Amino acid sequence: MKTAAAALLFVQLALATAVPKLETKISYDGYKAFRIKTDHNTAAIESELSRLSVVPLNLDTDKHIDIAVAPQDVAAFEALKFTTDVMHEDLGADITKEAVFAPYEVTAQAIPSLTWFNSYHAYADHVKFFSDLSAAFPQNSEIFNVGTSSQGRNIFGIHLWGSGGKGSKPAVYFHGSVHAREWITGKVVEYLTYQLLTQYGNNTEIKTALDKYDFYIIPFVNPDGFVYTQTNNRLWRKNRQTRSGASCVGTDMNRNWPYKWEVAGGASTNPCDETYKGAAGGDTPEIKALMAFTETLTNGKGIKLFIDWHSYGHYILIPYGYNCAAKAPNHARQLSLAQGLSTRIAQSYGTRFTTGQACAALYATTGDSTDYLTDVAKAEFAWTIELRPGSSASNGFVLPAAQILPSSIEQWEGLKYLLANV
């Protein structure tokens, strides 16, 4: 099992120096982002980096280290002569471009227009998009709430159903935006929802799928974090929960699910770290609400397929994360289905997704959603999908808006394959 202890220490040190504690908007203007090839020298490279003001961007640091270097340290970093690719010449400039949100338009039929997928949007508009979409298809959808976030926002979802009526079929269940900065996930989940609803009436393949499954799609399971990325810090990951006695804000919701939460090595116990697991499994209001909702699905018609949408890296990850030796009973079937999905995704634009067990293919985690969904909630398939970009991209969490549609289309093609074969 790979542990991320060294990486976590690095993240902690780097954040301590790079991120001011003030509640002002953090500027990444002039930050240059690099992907460093590690060649098995991760620890040595991290030790050099600890002397510079850098913001770490990835956790799978034994393969490569992605960082944004503060303007004053770019020259010193380049003098280190690591083997690098540039991810952002100027991260702040790319964030500024990304924040140009196109106006929200609806069609004559009162359905949101496809132009929605040409840009990112403000959180309030996402909420409106889903309520408008649902209002346009009242026979097949409704908005639901699973509870409230630590700052009191609704955690909303959209429920889709087909000819069997509401709640009559096994669940296909999606979570988006658990990590606040992974903006592409909300957009892709929106596109999948949009296609399911708008094509139900005129596409047999989609009608068959929606007649067979109830879909429960929660596009923003971490609304506070998402809003914070739009108001204060584009690179925020965790929720926004404060804790007495802790000077740092936020818990990594993907380390807080109470299954094997107590196992050491796959999360941090330091509230200032990016992978802080919380003081107890399920002690974040968001995960509490999601657990209660998930239980209703398990106790209802059961969960056929769960996908937790993340970015970035191009991965389709199957359980388990907490221990590389622990396999789901249907491990071989999950792997072959994931490989089939990867092949189908590549057919649209040649995008290659790596498939494998989460622990081995990426790194070990404890308290992640898919372990809980597999073991406690009894989902037949519970996966993490890490969306664009992949390893050769000149960007990371700040994915150009021009990639929203291609990202969405390749996943839509993949989802159709999954629904026909799961």
Closer to ligand 0X9 by Cβ: residue 342 or 384: 384
Q: Counting contacts by CB under 6 A, is residue 365 touching ligand 0X9?
A: yes
Cβ(66)–Cβ(87) under 8 Å? yes
**Residues 383-412, mask of contacts with ligand 0X9 (x by CB under 6 A):** -x-x--------------------------
3-state secondary structure of 21: coil
Distance CA 145, CA 245 (A): 31
Beta pairing class for 214-218 and 171-175: parallel
Number of H helices, E strands in the chain: 13, 12
Least distance CB 106 / ligand 0X9 (angstroms): 32
Q: Which residue is closest to ligand 0X9 by CB?
A: 321
Q: Counting contacts by CB under 6 A, is residue 362 touching ligand 0X9?
A: yes
User: Which amino acid is it at 131?
Assistant: S
Report the candidate in 287, 285, 309, 286 with the shortest Cα–Cα distance to residue 172.
Answer: 309
Q: Which of 155, 297, 358, 398 binds ligand 0X9 (CB under 6 A)?
A: 358
Among candidate residues 23, 386, 410, 413, the one labeled active-site is: 386
Q: Counting contacts by CB under 6 A, is residue 321 touching ligand 0X9?
A: yes
Q: Counting contacts by CB under 6 A, is residue 379 touching ligand 0X9?
A: no
Closer to ligand 0X9 by Cβ: residue 157 or 396: 396
Distances (CA, A) of 172 to 93, 145, 327, 334, 415: 38, 17, 22, 15, 11
Q: Which of 12, 42, 251, 254 binds ligand 0X9 (CB under 6 A)?
A: 254
Q: Which of 57, 217, 317, 415 binds ligand 0X9 (CB under 6 A)?
A: 317
Report the candidate in 280, 208, 202, 210 with the shortest Cα–Cα distance to residue 241.
Answer: 280
Q: Counting contacts by CB under 5 A, is residue 187 touching Zn ion?
A: no
Instruction: Tell me the DSSP string of 75-126.
Output: HHHHHT---EEEEES-HHHHHHHHT-PPPP-B-TTSPBPGGGGGS---HHHH
Closer to Zn ion by Cβ: residue 198 or 365: 365
Distance of alpha carbon 402 from the chain centroid: 19
Concerning whether 386 is annotated as a catalytic residue, the answer is: yes
Closer to Zn ion by Cβ: residue 179 or 234: 179
Number of residues interacting with Zn ion: please give it, by CB under 5 A.
2
Least distance CB 200 / ligand 0X9 (angstroms): 31
Element spanning 158, H or E: strand 154-160
Closer to ligand 0X9 by Cβ: residue 209 or 316: 316
Partner that binds at residue 363, options ligand 0X9, Zn ion, none, CB closer than 5 to 8 Å by kind = ligand 0X9
Interacting residues with Zn ion between 252 and 311 (CB under 5 A): 310
- For the chain, the straight-line distance linking the first and the last C-alpha, in angstroms and rounded, comes to 29
Residue with tokens 């030796």: 325
Number of residues interacting with ligand 0X9: please give it, by CB under 6 A.
16
Q: Counting contacts by CB under 6 A, is residue 368 touching ligand 0X9?
A: yes
Cβ(389)–Cβ(349) under 8 Å? no
**Residues 164-193, mask of contacts with ligand 0X9 (x by CB under 6 A):** ---------------x--x-----------
C-beta neighbour count of 420 within 10 angstroms: 13
Q: Counting contacts by CB under 5 A, is residue 179 touching Zn ion?
A: yes
Least distance CB 381 / ligand 0X9 (angstroms): 14
Q: Counting contacts by CB under 6 A, is residue 310 touching ligand 0X9?
A: yes
Q: Counting contacts by CB under 6 A, is residue 316 touching ligand 0X9?
A: no
Which region among 7-15, 82-90, 201-209, 360-368 touches ligand 0X9 (by CB under 6 A)?
360-368
Report the candidate in 246, 241, 288 with the shortest Cα–Cα distance to residue 270.
Answer: 246
Distance CA 36, CA 60 (A): 12
Least distance CB 129 / Zn ion (angstroms): 22
Partner that binds at residue 359, options Zn ion, ligand 0X9, none, CB closer than 5 to 8 Å by kind = ligand 0X9
Region of 367 on the Ramachandran plot (φ > 0 left; ψ -120 to 50 alpha; else beta): left
Distance CA 274, CA 6 (A): 13
Partner that binds at residue 59, options ligand 0X9, Zn ion, none, CB closer than 5 to 8 Å by kind = ligand 0X9
Distance of alpha carbon 298 from the chain centroid: 23
3-state secondary structure of 356: strand
Report the candidate in 203, 218, 219 with the shortest Cα–Cα distance to residue 419.
Answer: 203
Q: Which of 87, 196, 359, 419 binds ligand 0X9 (CB under 6 A)?
A: 359
Distances (CA, A) of 111 to 137, 199, 218, 264, 343: 9, 12, 19, 48, 32
Give the binding site for Zn ion (CB under 5 A). 179, 310
Active site residues: 386
Query: Which residues are near ligand 0X9 by CB under 6 A?
Result: 59, 179, 182, 254, 310, 317, 321, 358-359, 362-365, 368, 384, 386
